[in-house]
Amino acid sequence: MKLTRKESRIRRHRRIRGKVKGSPERPRMAVFRSNQHIYVQVIDDTQHHTLAAASTIDPEVRGTISSGANCEASVAVGKLIAQRSLSKGISKVVFDRGGNLYHGRIKALADAAREAGLEF
């Protein structure tokens, strides 16, 4: 039985979530990538609470990008989530790539967040 790309991503995501947990000291930075947008949340898994969020549909990002589905948009979202996290006192996170492969838009977002001051 051959798995579709979506089923493979979901399997990878479940495997990752078994190992990656967010805590109040080091919350989880979860990334969701759709065909048209990219979304990222900083989550405390012990309280099941989103601490910060950013995406390509935010007004701050939407006006500066031409498309929500490219590396340029991911860099903008990475900088924004780092800025919002740092303003709430969060400097260290655990990266959850959501089962996506670590290249392209996911890598661009992670690199931008690291450059803006987040540690992971």
Predicted pLDDT at 1: 86
Range of the domain at 45: 5-115
Residue 38 placed within a domain? yes
Looking at the structure of the chain, the number of domains it has is: 1
Is 67 a member of any domain?
yes
What pLDDT shows up at residue 48?
95
Residue 88 lies in a domain: yes
State both tokens at 27.
Answer: 């919350």
Nearest to 44 by CA among 9, 85, 82: 85
pTM assigned to the model? 0.92
Written as tens digits, the pLDDT of the chain (120 aa) is 899 999 999 999 999 999 999 999 999 999 999 999 999 999 999 999 999 999 999 999 999 999 999 999 999 999 999 999 999 999 999 999 999 999 999 999 999 999 999 999
CATH number of residue 11's parent domain: 3.30.420.100
In whole angstroms, how large is the CA radius of gyration of the chain?
A: 14
Q: Could you tell me if residue 120 is inside a domain?
A: no
pLDDT of residue 57: 97
